[in-house]
């Protein structure tokens, strides 16, 4: 579709908002659509099942590379197929005796079980990855794995979660390769918010977002926006929070990000629940619940069901 007309279509809901509310409150959305930096959208059409079929005739090394290169939002968007692919990556890496790739495949398996809410398995695979990276002396990757481990246990054990995340940040900051430091900063900000240390949470989220924007990271930026939204909800800065969620949703809709779009309905639910807007909260959580069933995102199903019961 012609780029100009695509932008016009994307603007329709915001034109409606502008007519019914103050234009200046919504001008930011117009600027986002027209002036947002060019994002890397080449992977938008990714389909896990199609990849599974298309790589069957490739060499084992090429198959491994393709699986380990799946974009994060697409990987979690079809967790059942991604689990099969991650298991295949583990087998290929072992067969090829590729330790670094095996560690990365273990991290993919940890992510699968994180989204399936399988505590012991996600921790086990994270520890396996950390063990390999430390033996290889790949401190940055070990740091990222420590950060992922800490983040994955934040609900069950906040004390150790903070410990592992700090250790991960230290590892990455000491390394020459700081490629994934933005994700670890961002997730550490979430833990700071859980501890009600909102200034610290904003500091790490903004620090991460600066890096994401510098890298034109179309996957990471929406996460940065909704994480800032969460802090602003806690601070009762509801208008600011909604702008951040809206900004995230624009990008996720452009990427056709199944997980991210589902997740954003949950953030809208959080916002409206905090505001006391029962009707919109129910609508948002119901939408999030239905999409989480469709996309097999277990922990979001539980979250939405819990809040629908509270309401």
pLDDT digits (tens, 9 = 90+) for 228-267: 999 999 999 999 999 999 999 999 999 999 999 999 999 9
pLDDT digits (tens, 9 = 90+) for 190-243: 999 999 999 999 999 999 999 999 999 999 999 999 999 999 999 999 999 999
d(CA 62, CA 33): 36
Q: Which pair of structure tokens corresponds to residue 231?
A: 């802090």
- Domains in the chain (CATH in brackets) are 45-179 (1.25.40.10)
pLDDT digits (tens, 9 = 90+) for 55-106: 878 999 999 999 999 988 888 878 888 899 999 999 999 999 999 999 999 9
d(CA 115, CA 295): 11
Sequence-distant (≥ 6) Cβ neighbours of residue 250 within 8 angstroms: 10, 29, 32, 33, 36
Q: Within a 10 A sphere around the Cβ of 278, how many other Cβ atoms?
A: 11
- Burial of residue 276, with CB atoms counted within 10 A of its CB: 0-12 exposed, 13-18 middle, 19 or more buried: exposed
What is the rounded average pLDDT of the residues 44-60? 72
Nearest to 299 by CA among 152, 141, 169, 188: 152
* Cα 239 to Cα 23, 73, 245, distances in angstroms: 14, 27, 10
pLDDT digits (tens, 9 = 90+) for 112-158: 998 887 889 999 999 999 999 999 999 999 999 999 999 999 988 99
Residue entry with tokens 């619940």: 289
* Cα 204 to Cα 118, 170, 183, 188, 281, distances in angstroms: 28, 14, 10, 7, 28
Q: Which pair of structure tokens corresponds to residue 235?
A: 């601070």
pLDDT digits (tens, 9 = 90+) for 259-269: 999 999 999 99
Tell me the pTM: 0.77
Q: Which pair of structure tokens corresponds to residue 264?
A: 């954003």
Give residue 117's pLDDT.
Answer: 79
């Amino acid at each position: 579709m012609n780029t100009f007309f695509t932008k016009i279509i994307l603007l329709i809901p915001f034109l409606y908002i502008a007519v019914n509310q103050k234009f200046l409150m919504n001008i930011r959305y117009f600027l986002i659509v027209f002036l947002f930096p060019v994002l890397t959208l080449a992977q938008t059409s990714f389909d896990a099942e199609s990849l599974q079929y298309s790589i069957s005739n490739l060499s084992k090394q090429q198959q491994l590379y393709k699986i380990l290169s799946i974009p994060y939002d697409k990987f979690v968007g079809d967790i059942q197929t991604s689990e099969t692919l991650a298991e295949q990556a583990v087998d290929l890496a072992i067969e090829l005796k590729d330790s670094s790739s095996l560690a990365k495949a273990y991290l993919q398996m940890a992510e699968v079980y994180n989204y399936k809410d399988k505590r012991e398995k996600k921790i086990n695979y994270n520890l396996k990855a950390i063990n390999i990276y430390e033996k290889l002396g790949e401190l940055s990757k070990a740091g990222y794995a420590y950060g992922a481990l800490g983040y994955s246990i934040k609900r069950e054990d906040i004390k150790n979660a903070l410990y592992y995340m700090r250790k991960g940040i230290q590892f990455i900051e000491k390394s020459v390769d700081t490629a994934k430091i933005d994700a670890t900063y961002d997730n550490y900000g979430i833990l700071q918010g859980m501890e009600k240390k909102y200034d610290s949470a904003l500091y790490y989220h903004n620090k991460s977002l600066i890096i994401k924007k510098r890298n034109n990271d179309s996957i990471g930026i929406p996460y940065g926006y909704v994480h800032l939204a969460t802090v602003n909800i806690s601070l009762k800065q509801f208008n600011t929070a909604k702008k951040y969620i809206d900004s995230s949703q624009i990008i996720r809709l452009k990427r056709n990000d199944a997980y991210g779009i589902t997740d954003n309905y949950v953030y809208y639910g959080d916002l409206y629940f905090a505001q006391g807007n029962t009707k919109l909260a129910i609508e948002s959580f119901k939408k999030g619940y239905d999409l989480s069933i469709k996309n097999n995102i277990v922990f979001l199903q539980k979250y939405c069901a819990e809040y629908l019961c509270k309401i």
